[in-house]
Amino acid sequence: MSEIQKQPPEERKRYVEGIALFNQQRYFEAHEVWEDLWKRADGNHKLFYQGLIQCAVSLEHMKRGNASGARSLFRRCQKRLAPLPPVYMGLDIWLLMEVTAKALAPGIDPPGKNAAAKEPDWPTIYLRKDLHTS
């Protein structure tokens, strides 16, 4: 049984709700949903939710033209998620890091104070089908 399948139904529902908000580029709202879960989590779940929160907030900073804030939070996100398995709670962490880095690239490499990611570059989270949360 996977980590996501072990979650209580309400936690699973909130986790997926955060993903839906993230995929709608409503990063601040996704952060709020995941923060509720993070506060109650421990161990790897706590690291995972904190990493997702930092990923979402880094993208929110980028949307608002704050490349410095985006860069800083994305680095923290990478550190939080690094100890976890490549796929955790049905989410491919490595893929998320890759597509987020691409979205943030205009503000991170080379560093620029007020860069904004182009619309097609915003990341999307897909849960692995074999671990779907229905």
Taking only the tens place, the pLDDT of each residue in 62-110 is 998 888 899 999 999 999 999 999 999 999 999 999 999 998 887 666 5
| Residue 4 within a domain | no
| Residue 29 within a domain | yes
What residue numbers bound the domain in which 51 lies?
A: 9-124
| Residue 89 within a domain | yes
> For residue 67, what pLDDT is reported?
86
pLDDT at 18 over 80: yes
pLDDT at 24 over 70: yes
pLDDT at 31 over 50: yes
Are 59 and 18 spatial neighbours (Cβ–Cβ below 8 Å)?
no
Can you tell me the mean pLDDT for 103-128? 69
| Residue 130 within a domain | no
Are 74 and 101 spatial neighbours (Cβ–Cβ below 8 Å)?
yes
Give 117's pLDDT tier (boundaries 50, 70, 90): very low
Cα–Cα dist 52/78, whole Å: 10
In the chain, the number of structural domains is 1
| Residue 48 within a domain | yes
Q: Which amino acid is at 62?
A: M
Which residue, chain included where needed, has tokens 């979402």? 56
Task: Return the CATH number at 41.
Answer: 1.10.3450.10
Which residue, chain included where needed, has tokens 């709608």? 24
> For residue 16, what pLDDT is reported?
95
Peptide bond into 106 cis (omega under 30): no
Cα–Cα dist 1/7, whole Å: 10
Are 130 and 80 spatial neighbours (Cβ–Cβ below 8 Å)?
no
Q: What is the mean pLDDT of the chain?
A: 86
| Residue 39 within a domain | yes
| Residue 74 within a domain | yes
| Residue 132 within a domain | no
